[in-house]
Chain A
Amino acid sequence: MEIREMTALTLGCAIKSRQVGVREAVKACLDEIEKKDSTLHAFLETDEKKIYDRVKEVENGIKAGKYTGPLAGVPIAVKDNICTRNRKTTCASRILENFIPSYDAEAVRRIESAGMIVMGKTNMDEFAMGSTSETSAYGITRNPWDTEKVPGGSSGGSCAAVAADEVFAALGSDTGGSIRQPASYCGVVGMKPTYGTVSRYGLIAYASSLDQIGPVGKDVSDCAALLEASAGYDAKDSTSVLRKDLQFTRYLRQDLHGVKIGIPKEYLSEGLDEDVKRSLADAVQLMTKNGAVVEFFTLGLVDYVIPAYYIIASAEASSNLARFDGVKYGYRAEEFEGLHDMYKKTRAEGFGEEVRRRILLGSFVLSSGYYDAYYLKALKVKAMIKKAFDDAFLKYDMLIAPAAPSTAPAVGSSLADPLKMYLSDVYTAGVNLAGLPAISVPCGLDSSGMPVGLQFIGDCFQEKKIIQAAYAYEKIRGEFPKAYGKGVK
């Protein structure tokens, strides 16, 4: 088996048993990046010198017994909205071009102290606002399965890089589906943990109450292992939760017996692509055959997910992104007259259209006279949605759902109609509103050969259940095809 085709855990084992050197693994990634990334553009930055400096450190660390974890020596990628000390972190925005943080995100600190090697920063929708990775200020990322298709978003770079074997795993961030949807489009596994599981310190906020960092991997085991390495209580994040059940790899058991699964009926109504529906049905059949009990039920409030999500996310974004003003760091307009003109020009020139749209939307819903009607109401809806999920988990161990209504759309076909693009978050955004964990696993191909993702949604802090079910499903599903890359050699 070629090194690049290994999973992260297999590679970790091979490194530990000295069958593969850390340097070799890194070289394999760099070769793939060299070969493919001029087409895919999954990465915004890879710095060979920094990588090789780190390789030396990791080689020594492994020898000295400092790095003993299952992923020690494994090259991974980090989404560009996660701060990396001394490495550019731009959120794929012009306003942060050349911004170099003086600190690591807590998640980065954790994976590095587990001996992983950060290969580079991955492309994304600007400030994680978008579903296609086309709103990046630095060019689009293409889907390794078909370069005429988008990889999804906003963690499109992380998912494309993993799908294309440019890296063994990656960190993404998920605010309304930004890990699960691109994972589905790229045929990889992506997971959004329970809110508060991975520290948000150093994650450049889009919508603070919804944002979570999560893993992208080639399979469920890799995701569980990467989450295990990156999760943990952090006093620097006041929304971080102290949990004791963080050994997610313990739940990699092939057992679906008696697992009660609910499928929200509303998810199968209009708007769901036939191919996606068929893949989902096949998966359900397979799981039922293996002992799971699957039932349809009415979740309720599904129509309110998107409006509530976009009001809350935009409101928070309008405030979170206020700090990008040309005063302290990042882009500043070259010509201006006075302070207010500097603010206006900097922000008009520094932010892309989608980001500006959401800042305006968010400012509007928070403005006096509208706050109660929009923001406060959206918070109430959020609480009701959480309640609807709570009720569902009284009956079911987990829910399953499509990760997206369709497979990856063609490049250039989405941005013209933002409202339609927003609606495609319907199966993912509710999970963020309720703070739940969910994992997307490839479950089939559509008629044009593009991957479809199946989402397992768990109750808060019940990662163990969805990891176990996703793992079991993955095993009974069998080998999933690799991105063969129309247009990528």
Chain B
Amino acid sequence: MAKRYETVIGLEVHVELATATKIFCGCSAKFGGAPNTHTCPVCTGMPGSLPVLNRQVVDYALALGMAANCRINQTCKFDRKNYFYPDNPQNYQISQLYLPICHDGFLEIRTASGKKKIRIHEMHMEEDAGKLIHDEWEDCSLVDYNRSGVPLVEIVSEPDMRNAEEVIAYLEKLRLICQYLGVSDCKLQEGSMRADVNLSVMEAGSGKLGTRTEMKNLNSFKAIARAIEGERERQIELLEEGKCVQQETRRWDDNKEISYAMRSKEDAKDYRYFPDPDLPPVVISGEWLARIKERQPELQEEKAERYEKEFGLSAYDASLLTQSRHLADLYEQTVSLLQQKEVAGAPKKAANWFIGETLRLLKDRGMETEDLHFTPGHLADLIVVCERGEVNNQTAKKVFGRIFDEDVEPVSYIEENGLKTVVDTGVLESIVEKILASNPKTVEEYQSGKTKVLGFLVGQVMKEMKGKAEPQTVNRLLMEKLQRGPSL
């Protein structure tokens, strides 16, 4: 009988923090910019320059550590990791080895098989490196130090994950927390979130961990899932052939769906870590911790729970609305505006617009929730206009499309484009009469019992009204006239 294997996975995730400036100097930490424009003597490793810690980085790392249930080292230190590479201007990276800022936490993930705690070994602060660009024309390498010194937090998990689903759930959870805290936008494609996968396989039930490999260059959740599957198969194949898995670092090629060995344990570099003498230990006072704790925003789970309780939404709707903090913020602002205007059932009504229309349009336009840029007041105004029956549903959806795309102001937009429903029954009545008069056959059919032709008549009226009528009103008027008998 073939052996059964269990996969054991731990992750090292780098998250680029969304601070305005770099970790050890005042340069902009923004993504992009013309090469070497976000630089100074410090982040280009000029002689005599010295690092000065950006306290915002500590704030963010603490917020993240607290959200991930970590213990905090109230005295933490920076160490130098020494290695030569041109993207690293000092030829050492300032990181934390001996006393990282956070340790021993966990994240709870939810998968098809239920809830599970993934333990976090530690989180530490460090600086990012620059970028090397190879110039094929000149056959030379160029370096851009804009990213050099951008703050990172590395989150090291315990080997608690067993499959790709759990890994993705963990990463999604981490991303959501970062987003809610506002500490990072966590874009894998832009490299603001990077995950290295440590994976080994063991015989099911043996409890004996196998030799692990580390995989790098994973640029999307899909690539991560494929890489995990590929590496699991590769390792099992080796074991089945009676061979050993080598402890090594491998690079995943997502196009070819195979991994390559980068360097083995024997070639592992000796980083000669030692405490950075330029940076005194960071002492985090009780007040500092309290300040961060107080500032901690409501995270996704609490928010979803509140939506269920306070707004009476279903668990599913609440989870959809809280899938991004930006979306939830827009939703809550809309609700509160509607409540100010005393619209009955505001949370539910707003939820319908967000779940029905907003999410649909996002999908249609291929956009992320973060790209949403309409003013909640505009949606609230539109809902109010609908409530008053001033526009019908179809029109309202069209108007919302304009709000979604261009953030138009709905009241004046409806006015200017003459989209208001005609409530003057005098006008409507004459149109109804006109339609009945010009469709005697249909009228006859209706009166002989074929009531479903009513829909056709409604459509004719709506057409004549250019959609500016409330369908229910048209319905009611038609029925009244038709029931009065054939003597029109």
Contact B270 A367 (CB under 8 A): yes
Chain A residue, CB-CB nearest to B278: A208
The one of A82, A204, A325, A368 that contacts B84, using a Cβ cutoff of 8 Å: A325
B-facing mask of A201-226, CB < 8 A → 1, else 0?
A: 11111011100000000000000000
B159 in the interface (beta carbon within 8 A)? no
What is the 8 Å Cβ interface bit string for chain A, positions 312-345, against chain B (1 contact, 0 not)?
Answer: 0001101100111101110000000001100100
Structural contact, B48 and A203, CB atoms closer than 8 A: yes
Nearest residue in B to A368 (C-beta to C-beta)? Answer: B270
- In the complex the two chains form, what is the Cα distance from A47 to B274 in whole Å? 41
Q: Which of B46, B86, B274, B278 contacts A315 (CB 8 A)?
A: B274
Asked if A201 meets B274 with Cβ closer than 8 Å, knowing A319-B82, A328-B45, the reply is no
Q: A240 to chain B: closest CB distance in Å?
A: 9
* B261-291 contact mask (Cβ, 8 Å, vs A): 1 or 0: 0000000001011100111100000000000
Task: In the complex, identify which listed stretch (B50-58, B240-248, B294-302, B364-372) lies at the interface while the others stay far away.
Answer: B50-58
Given contacts A238-B53, A319-B80, contact A366 B272 (CB under 8 A): yes
Secondary structure type dominating chain B contacts: loop
Determine the distance from Cα of A236 to Cα of B89 in the docked complex, in whole angstroms: 19
The residue that A375 contacts in the complex, of B41, B90, B274, with Cβ under 8 A, is B274
A209 to B273, CA, bound (A): 16
**Residues of chain B contacted by A239 (CB below 8 angstroms):** 277-278, 280
Q: Is the CB of B272 within 8 A of A209?
A: no
Q: Which residues of A contact B270 (CB under 8 A)?
A: 367-368
Are A204 and B48 neighbours in the complex by a CB distance under 8 Å?
Answer: yes
List the B side residues contacting A363 at CB < 8 Å: 272
Q: A99 interface residue, CB < 8 Å from B?
A: yes
- Of the listed residues A96, A103, A327, A368, the one surrounded by the most CB atoms of chain B closer than 10 A to its CB is A327
Complex: A367 Cα to B269 Cα, angstroms = 10
Which residue from chain B places its CB closest to the CB of A105 in the assembled complex? B48
B274 and A319 contacting across the interface, CB-CB below 8 Å: yes
Interface of chain A, helix or strand or loop or mixed?
loop
Q: Are A319 and B92 in contact (CB under 8 A)?
A: yes
Which residues of the partner chain A approach B92 to less than 8 Å between Cβ atoms?
319, 322
* A203, A238, A375 interface centre (most CB from chain B within 10 Å): A238
Query: CA separation between A103 and B41, bound complex, in Å?
Result: 8
Residue interface bits A221-254, CB-to-B below 8 A is 1, else 0: 0000000000000011111000000000000000
Q: Mark B214-233, 1 if CB is under 8 A from A, else 0.
A: 00000000000000000000
Nearest A residue (CB) for B87: A327
Q: How many A residues, CB 8 Å from partner?
A: 44
B82 touches A83 (CB 8 A): no
**Contact at A329–B272, with CB atoms within 8 Å?**
no
Contact B47 A208 (CB under 8 A): no
- Tell me which of A82, A322, A324, A366 contacts B274 (CB under 8 A): A366
Contact A323–B279 (Cβ < 8 Å): no
Q: Does B91 contact A (CB under 8 A)?
A: yes
Do B45 and A200 touch (CB < 8 A)? Answer: no
Contact yes or no, A339 B86, CB < 8 A: yes
Nearest CB in chain B to that of A327: its residue: B86
Residue from A201, A319, A340 in contact with B272 in the complex, judged by beta carbons closer than 8 Å: A319
**Residue pair B279, A238 in contact (C-beta under 8 Å):** yes
Q: Is A371 an interface residue (CB 8 A)?
A: yes
Contacts beyond the supplied A207-B277, A319-B92: 19 A-B pairs with Cβ under 8 Å: A91-B47, A99-B47, A102-B46, A103-B41, A103-B49, A202-B49, A205-B47, A235-B52, A238-B279, A239-B278, A315-B274, A319-B82, A319-B274, A322-B92, A327-B143, A340-B84, A363-B272, A366-B273, A371-B273
Chain A: residues with CB nearer than 8 A to chain B?
A: 82-83, 89, 91, 96, 99, 101-103, 105, 200-205, 207-209, 235-239, 315-316, 318-319, 322-325, 327-329, 339-340, 343, 363, 366-368, 371, 375
9 tightest CB-CB pairs across the interface, nearest first? Answer: A322-B91, A209-B277, A366-B272, A208-B277, A202-B48, A204-B47, A83-B48, A323-B45, A204-B48
Residue pairs across A and B with Cβ atoms less than 8 A apart, 12 shown, are A91-B47, A99-B47, A105-B48, A200-B50, A209-B277, A239-B280, A315-B274, A318-B272, A322-B92, A323-B91, A327-B86, A329-B46
